[in-house]
Amino acid sequence: MTVDPRALSLPGIQDPPKTPRRRRMTFAERLYLPLLAGMWVTLRHMLQNLFGLRKRVTIQYPEERRQYSHRYRGHHILTTRPDGSVRCVACFLCATACPAECIHIEAGEQPDVNIEKYPVVYEIDMLRCVFCGYCVDACPEEAIIMSNNYDMAYYSRDQSIVGKADLMKPYTIDPERLGYRPSYPEEDVKRAEMRRQALDLVTAAKARSGATNH
Ligand code: SF4
Ligand code: SF4
């Protein structure tokens, strides 16, 4: 059975033209004049940047550094107990939550029965990590947090797999360089103050409405 193509076309919709229509270039386009306009924009930006006629959006990294959010998710830190031992109890929750499957843990037995396990090996493959922070969220011990440190450059693939010793490096525990972590005591204080002020406002409003009703 043959189908008449006209029966399939929708009313009011025309079939596209069978042969493409060539667009005629304007005289200016044939002389490549629009290219000059583009080059003028590039030149103008270059001169403005060169002579400091406007605020630059780029910075001279690494001499200059941007201030990122205090919740920035940078290089991980394995936190320690006061005695210097790693806080991690090798529960594998972080590795399970990790969407990039870039955490490798090998558990060992802790002599302290209250702790039971510790990570003999704890490695993060930084080139696979997507810095989502799920490992920090999953950890029940606050044993893994993230820092503001974004200086991560490696000369080989092996270097990008960061082990326990590097993750526990004291320089990353600098309070000025802490990033994403489960608790922010300074924010808790601010929130408590805001709650108290809100309660004061509600109490004052109730007192006012009570006074007008009497
Ligand atoms: S930040 Fe995300 S991707 Fe990176 S190790 Fe943690 S869970 Fe995995
Ligand atoms: S979730 Fe925390 S305690 Fe558990 S293995 Fe990961 S870092 Fe260690």
- The amino acid present at 4, given as its one-letter code, is D
**Please, what is the Cα angle at 28 between 23 and 33, to 5 degrees?**
120
pLDDT digits (tens, 9 = 90+) for 45-97: 999 988 888 888 888 888 998 888 889 999 999 999 988 899 999 999 999 99
pLDDT digits (tens, 9 = 90+) for 123-176: 999 999 999 999 999 999 999 999 988 889 999 999 999 999 999 986 666 777
**Token pair belonging to 148:** 């503001």
Q: What is the predicted pLDDT for the residue at 88?
A: 96
Question: Of all protein residues, whose CA lies closest to atom 3 belonging to ligand 2?
Answer: 88
pLDDT above 90 (res 19): no
Q: What is the predicted pLDDT for the residue at 50?
A: 87
pLDDT above 90 (res 208): no
Residue with the bigger pLDDT between 211 and 79: it is 79
pLDDT confidence tier of residue 18, bands split at 50, 70 and 90: confident
Q: What is the DSSP string of 168-214?
A: T-GGGG-GGGB-S-S--HHHHHHHHHHHHHHHHHHHHHHHHHHHHH-
* Ligand 2 pocket at CB < 6 A: 88-94, 105, 138-139, 141, 143-144
Q: What is the predicted pLDDT for the residue at 67?
A: 85
High-pLDDT (> 70) share of the chain, %: 90
Q: What structural domains does the chain harbor?
A: 76-183 (3.30.70.3270)
Ligand nearest to the CA of 97: 1
Total residues found in the chain within this entry: 214
Mutation to probe ligand 1, out of 76, 96, 98 (largest number of atoms < 8 A from CB): 98
| CA of 146, closest atom in ligand 1 | 1
Residue with the bigger pLDDT between 172 and 9: it is 9
Question: Of all protein residues, whose CA lies closest to atom 5 belonging to ligand 1?
Answer: 129
Q: What is the predicted pLDDT for the residue at 1?
A: 60
Give me the torsion for CA of 206, 209, 211, 214, rounded to 10°.
-130
Q: What is the predicted pLDDT for the residue at 56?
A: 81
pLDDT confidence tier of residue 189, bands split at 50, 70 and 90: confident
Q: What is the predicted pLDDT for the residue at 170?
A: 67
pLDDT above 70 (res 7): no
pLDDT confidence tier of residue 6, bands split at 50, 70 and 90: low
Distance CA 126, CA 90 (A): 19
Question: Of all protein residues, whose CA lies closest to atom 4 belonging to ligand 2?
Answer: 91
**How far does residue 62's CA lie from ligand 1's centre (Å)?**
25
pTM of the model as a whole: 0.70
Question: Of all protein residues, whose CA lies closest to atom 1 belonging to ligand 2?
Answer: 139
Q: What is the predicted pLDDT for the residue at 100?
A: 97
**How far does residue 75's CA lie from ligand 2's centre (Å)?**
16
Distance CA 104, CA 98 (A): 10
Q: What is the predicted pLDDT for the residue at 136?
A: 96
| CA of 128, closest atom in ligand 1 | 3
Question: Of all protein residues, whose CA lies closest to atom 8 belonging to ligand 1?
Answer: 98
118-124 mean pLDDT: 97
pLDDT above 80 (res 11): no
